[in-house]
Amino acid sequence: MNENAPSVRRLGPVIGAEISGVDLTEPLDSKQISTLRQAFLDHSVIFFRGQNMTPEQQMRFAEYFGEPAAYPFVKGLDDFPMVTPILKLEDETVNFGGIWHSDTAYLPEPPMATILHAKELPESGGDTVFANMYAAYDALSDGMKEMLAHLRALNSAGNKRVSDTRQDRIRDSGKDATNMQTDSVHPVIRVHPETGRKALYVNIAHTVCFDGMTVEESAPILKFLFAHQTREEFTCRFRWSDGAVAIWDNRCAQHYPVNDYHGQRRLLHRITLKGDMPR
């Protein structure tokens, strides 16, 4: 049994913390799990270094936070179908999900969290940037908050901005998502079910328009929100290293994988955790 006490060090002013003093390849005790879950809620994304986990160990770690869920469009590992390879090959120029987004926000019940584990990394580049949607909401004017309070928005997997980023993987390891609902309407401002805090819940990858409005009518306000929610002061940047792990809260955070490592291979293993219907 792992008996180390986790240490939490803030990475950015409003989002992100790095955890040390814990070995994720070993089972964790209840106190450790409680500390990690609280850090996750407090910082929206937490990071670990040097955790050379097997897929089985990553699954065990994921289950401390929630129930793993399958990704709709790309097959998982043969023995661990809930573990999805996030891969960019040396001859590819587009990276998977290479745009600001909250994972699979087009589902009726989007995932509450995502876990990435670094397996193969480029010599340089390939960082991931995270943004705090609590902070983005809090920074809006009272008038904008009032206007958005009761709006809902259509989120779609077919939005070309993001669908183009998954084509390489669909070609070599795609699966049939014909019977899955991939268009959903969610509140523009959602209330986090655990913290009770309000977060801005639109993203440039999936959000198409406001419910009951046309794309053209919605565009000016959405353009403002997309730019506003990724302002530098709401973000932190994580530089991956061998065995590094990140787990973030899709209910109040967005992420952007930087595509600056052409000609190099990058592989991470991803697990998403089942969430609830945004409210």
Q: Which of 43, 251, 266, 270 is catalytic?
A: 270
The one catalytic residue in 117, 169, 206, 255 is 255
* Residue tagged active-site, from 103, 168, 192, 249: 103
- Could you give the CA distance from residue 58 to residue 53 in angstroms, rounded to a whole number? 6
197 dihedral zone (left: phi>0; alpha: psi -120 to 50; beta): beta
Q: Looking up tokens 């270094």, which residue turns up?
A: 49
- Active-site residue 43, yes or no? no
Find the radius of gyration of the CA atoms of the chain: 18
- How many degrees, rounded to 5, is the angle at CA 12 between CA 6 and CA 14? 100
Q: Give the residue from 12, 41, 20 showing the smallest Cα distance to 247.
A: 41
> From the CB of residue 34, how many other CB atoms can be counted at a distance below 10 Å?
13
Alpha-helix runs per DSSP H in 70-157: 133-138, 142-148
Cα(11)–Cα(192) distance, integer angstroms: 22
Catalytic residue among 101, 166, 190, 251: 101
For this structure, is 101 an active site residue? yes
CA atoms within 13 A on the CB side of 201: 32
Residues 153 and 24: their CA atoms lie apart, in Å, by 38
What is d(CA 8, CA 176) in angstroms, rounded to the nearest whole number? Answer: 41
Catalytic residues: 101, 103, 255, 270
